[in-house]
Amino acid sequence: MPTSELALLGGPKTRTAPFPPYPVIGAEERRAVMEVLDEGRLSTFIASPGEHFLGGKRIRAFERAFADYHGVRFAVAFNSATSALHAAVVALDVPAGHEVLVPPYTFTSTATCALMAGAVPVFVDVEPETFCLDPKALEAAVSPLSRAVIPVHLFGHPAPMDEILDVARRHSLRVIEDAAQAPGAMYRGRRVGTLGDCAVYSFQESKNLMTGEGGMLITNDPQVAEVAQLVRNHGEMIEASSARRTYRSEILGYGYRMTEFEAALGLVQLGRLAAQNAARQRLAAHLTRALAGVPGLRPPVVRPGCEHVFYAYTLTYDEAAWGAPRDRFVAALGAEGVPAAPGYVKPLYLNPLYADRRSLAFGSYRGSVRYERGICPVTEDLHFQKAIVLVVVRPPAGERDMDDIATAVHKLWTHREELARC
C-alpha cells in the first residue's frame, strides 16, 4: 500500500493518459502535399529556362500570403528560422568583429546567427515578468562595437518593442525581431515582426504555424529582401536579361531553400493560424482560472496592449510559498502525469561554445564581451529557480486536459508539506 497520496511517492497518478500529440495534420494538409507530389515539381529553385531564383509557385504564394498577413512588402522563405536569422544578420550588414545584442533566454540560433556572420553575441538580461529582453539592460550593454539587437518574443509574448526601438534608434542599432515563437502576436495594435528592420519566423513542427521544418524572413526593405534571397540561394543571381542560370556568384550564399511541400503546408497552416492562436489563448485563460487560488505560482503575465499567442504556457514558482524547490515540484507534477519542464534553455552563455570561444568569429573581435555565470542574474534566477514551462497548453488538448493540470497542481498544494519533506 502506498503511504502517500503523491504519485512521486507511490500514490495514484492524477492522470494516466498522455496529452494529445501535436501537430494536428488534417485533410487539407494531406491534400496540399499530395498535389505537390502529383505535379512532380518539388523545388524548382534550380533554375531552368523560364524559371528563376525565387523558387516554386507555392513558395512564392506562401511568401505573398505571409507578407500580406503582416502588411509588409517582402517575405523570403527559408528551410529554417536559423538560416533566416543568419541571412538577416548578413542582410543588415553587421560587420565581422562587431557585436549583436541578444537575450540569453532563447533558442541557440538567436545568438549563433551572429557567429555565423562573423559577429559576436553579447548577452543582455531579460525582464522577470515576460522573459523578454530588458530595455534598461540593453541600454547598459551597448558598446562602440554594437551594431544590431535581436529581441525575442519568447513563448509568444511580445518583447517591449517601443523601449527597445528607442534604444536602437539612439545607438544606431539595426533590429531583427526573432518572432519564431510568436506568429500573429500583437504589440500595441501592430503585429510583431513588423516593428524592426526585419523579422524571422520558425515553422518547425512544434510551432504555432508549422511545416515540419521551415522559416520566413519579412521586411519592408527591398535591399534586405534581395540579400536574403541571395543568401538563401547560394548567392547566385539569375541575370534578368537571360532568364537562364549563369552560376554567377554575387555573394557568399548557402543552400537555405524551402521545398514546395513545406510551402504547401505553410499556406494551409497560415489559414489556420488565427483559430490556432485563439484556441491557445482560450486554453491558457482556462488554465489560469483553474489555478487561481494556488499561492506561489504566477501564471503568464500579459502586458497591457500585448496579445500573447502562448507557444508555451509559463508558471513562475515561488519556493518560499511551497517549501520545496522548483525541480521537486516539477518532478512531482510529472509523476502525476503532467509533463512540465524546469526552466527553458540554459542561459546560452553557459555553453562551451561561448565559454571556450569556439568560433572563428572571435578571431577578429577586439571587444570585451564576457560569458560567465552571473552576467544575467534575472535569466539565471528564472532558469535555475523559478520558471516552469508547459507546452501541452495547445490544441488539440482541450479544457478537460487543462482541468487535469489544475487538479494535479491543487493536489500538490494540498500535500505540500510532504513534498517539502521528501
Kindly provide the b/e burial profile for residues 180-196, where b requires at least 16 CB atoms within 10 angstroms of the residue's own CB.
bbbbbbbbeeebbbbbb
List the x/- string, 312-351, binding to ligand PLP by CB under 6 A: ----------------------------------------
Min dist CB 81 to ligand PLP, Å, is 3
Kindly provide the b/e burial profile for residues 222-246, where b requires at least 16 CB atoms within 10 angstroms of the residue's own CB.
eebbebbbbbbbbbbbbeeeeeebe
399-414 and 326-335 are packed helices; what angle lies between their axes, rounded to 10 degrees?
A: 120
- Residue closer to ligand PLP (CB basis): 4 or 351: 351
Min dist CB 152 to ligand PLP, Å, is 5
Give the residue, chosen from 14, 44, 109, 130, that forms a contact with ligand PLP under the rule CB under 6 A. 109
Single-letter residue type at 93: D
Give the residue, chosen from 63, 134, 177, 178, that forms a contact with ligand PLP under the rule CB under 6 A. 178
Dihedral over Cα of 370, 371, 372, 373: its sign:
positive
The count of C-alpha atoms lying within 13 angstroms of the C-alpha of 159, restricted to the half-sphere facing its C-beta, is 34
Angle among Cα 174, 178, 182 to the nearest 5 degrees reads 140
Give the residue, chosen from 55, 215, 266, 395, that forms a contact with ligand PLP under the rule CB under 6 A. 215
The DSSP code for 8 is: G
295: exposed, middle or buried (Cβ count in 10 Å: 0-12, 13-18, 19+): exposed
- Residue closer to ligand PLP (CB basis): 110 or 130: 110
List the x/- string, 28-67, binding to ligand PLP by CB under 6 A: ----------------------------------------
Binding of ligand PLP by 82 (CB under 6 A): yes
Binding of ligand PLP by 106 (CB under 6 A): yes
Kindly provide the b/e burial profile for residues 249-284, where b requires at least 16 CB atoms within 10 angstroms of the residue's own CB.
eeeebbebbbbbbbbbbbbbbbebbeebbebbbebb
Q: Cα–Cα distance between 93 and 100 in angstroms, integer?
A: 11
Q: Return the range that interacts with ligand PLP (CB under 6 A); candidates 3-11, 127-135, 175-183, 336-344.
A: 175-183
- Residue closer to ligand PLP (CB basis): 7 or 180: 180
Binding of ligand PLP by 283 (CB under 6 A): no
Hey, how many other C-beta atoms are within 10 angstroms of the C-beta on 47? Answer: 19
Min dist CB 421 to ligand PLP, Å, is 37
Q: Return the range that interacts with ligand PLP (CB under 6 A); candidates 9-17, 35-43, 80-88, 260-268.
A: 80-88
Min dist CB 113 to ligand PLP, Å, is 8
Binding of ligand PLP by 155 (CB under 6 A): no
Min dist CB 41 to ligand PLP, Å, is 24
Min dist CB 147 to ligand PLP, Å, is 19
Kindly provide the b/e burial profile for residues 110-138, where b requires at least 16 CB atoms within 10 angstroms of the residue's own CB.
bbbbbbbbbbbbbbbbbbbebbbbbbebb
Please report which helix (H) or strand (E) contains residue 316, including its range: strand 313-317
In the numeric block, which cell numbers belong to residue 118? 562573423
In the range 185-214, which residues lie near ligand PLP by CB under 6 A?
202, 204
Q: Say whether the peptide bond before residue 396 is cis (omega within 30 degrees of 0).
A: yes
Binding of ligand PLP by 110 (CB under 6 A): yes
Dihedral over Cα of 65, 71, 77, 79: its sign:
negative
Min dist CB 5 to ligand PLP, Å, is 37
In the range 134-153, which residues lie near ligand PLP by CB under 6 A?
152
- Residue closer to ligand PLP (CB basis): 91 or 335: 91
Binding of ligand PLP by 107 (CB under 6 A): yes
- Residue closer to ligand PLP (CB basis): 102 or 230: 102
Give the residue, chosen from 130, 181, 259, 277, that forms a contact with ligand PLP under the rule CB under 6 A. 181
In the numeric block, which cell numbers belong to residue 141? 550593454
Angle among Cα 305, 158, 24 to the nearest 5 degrees reads 110
Please report which helix (H) or strand (E) contains residue 247, including its range: none
Give the residue, chosen from 14, 44, 80, 229, that forms a contact with ligand PLP under the rule CB under 6 A. 80
Phi-psi region of 84 (alpha: psi -120 to 50; beta: other; left: phi over 0): alpha
- Residue closer to ligand PLP (CB basis): 145 or 340: 340
Binding of ligand PLP by 379 (CB under 6 A): no
Q: Return the range that interacts with ligand PLP (CB under 6 A); candidates 55-63, 76-84, 238-246, 295-303.
A: 76-84
Contact positions toward ligand PLP, by CB under 6 A? 80-82, 106-107, 109-110, 152, 178, 180-181, 202, 204, 215
